Amino acid sequence: MSESPAWEPAVVVVGLGAAGTASVERIDTDTAATLRTVDDPPETPASLRDAVVDAAFVFLTGDADEAGVVGCAHDLARSTGACSVFVAEGLSDVPSELTAALNLVVPIDRDAVSPLVVSSLLADLFEAMMTPTVRALGHGDVRVVAGDGRVGRLAIRLPDDDDPTWVSPRVGGGERDAALVFVCAERERSPATVERAAGVADGVGLGALLWDQRIHERYADASHVKRLVTVDPEASPGAPRD
């Protein structure tokens, strides 16, 4: 059963360019998240800047190879005090100025995954902390996983797979800060089943590990597990965590 959070964050989701616009337009949600698109990223509407200024969380997505997308993501993140996450298709290298502006950058190999995964990842992240879809997590948990100046790697495990498939390039050499696991299905599963699917027993001692069920009709005949791992790209392997 979903529980109402004591405070619900203002969430803005922005699709930048053609790919980002398509990803956001695929999102079907019952939450109050604001969904916006920018067809021509260099020409960011003033109304969009105003919207992100007042937000608590800003989720951005687009294809890094499209003109203006990365620059617009950087500028929007710099113009807000919100927790900002950029899911960037085609991004193989994350410049330090981008991680300095954003809380979390998640590069996605566009050739390794269906475009639907980008849309559903965005939806999972904000639906995990908003009514009527909030369940075990909340906005504080998503904020902790996002961190500051972090880079994320996404893996997908299908029901018949023994191991997950990484759909993000490896960027940076730091140890894992946190992992957020979404067990995605059309119908609710038992807590024990969710914990097994999330690999809870295998994640002890490897930084913060959070998990949640994401139940939605978009996962009919498409159940899977998403594992989002975050690292500090500036840290050396074996360096102590903050």
35-85: pLDDT as tens digits: 999 988 877 778 888 889 989 999 999 999 999 999 999 999 998 999 999
Inside any domain, residue 239: no
CATH of the domain at 77: 3.40.50
Query: How many domains does the chain contain in total?
Result: 1
In the chain, which stretches have pLDDT less than 70?
Answer: 1-6, 172-174, 200-207, 236-242
pTM of the predicted model as reported, rounded to 2 decimal places: 0.90
Inside any domain, residue 132: yes
The pLDDT value recorded for residue 94 is 86
208 beta partners: 178
Inside any domain, residue 4: no
The pLDDT value recorded for residue 241 is 42
The pLDDT value recorded for residue 1 is 40
The pLDDT value recorded for residue 35 is 97
Kindly report each contact of residues 99-102 with a partner whose C-beta sits within 8 Å and lies 24 or more positions away, as own/partner: 99/149, 99/150, 99/151, 99/233, 100/149, 101/74, 101/77, 102/73, 102/74, 102/77, 102/149
- From CA 191, how far away is CA 73, in angstroms rounded? 37
Q: Note whether 33 and 131 are within 8 A (CB).
A: no
Domain, as residue range, for 65: 11-231
At 72-100, the pLDDT tens digits run: 999 999 989 999 999 999 998 888 889 99
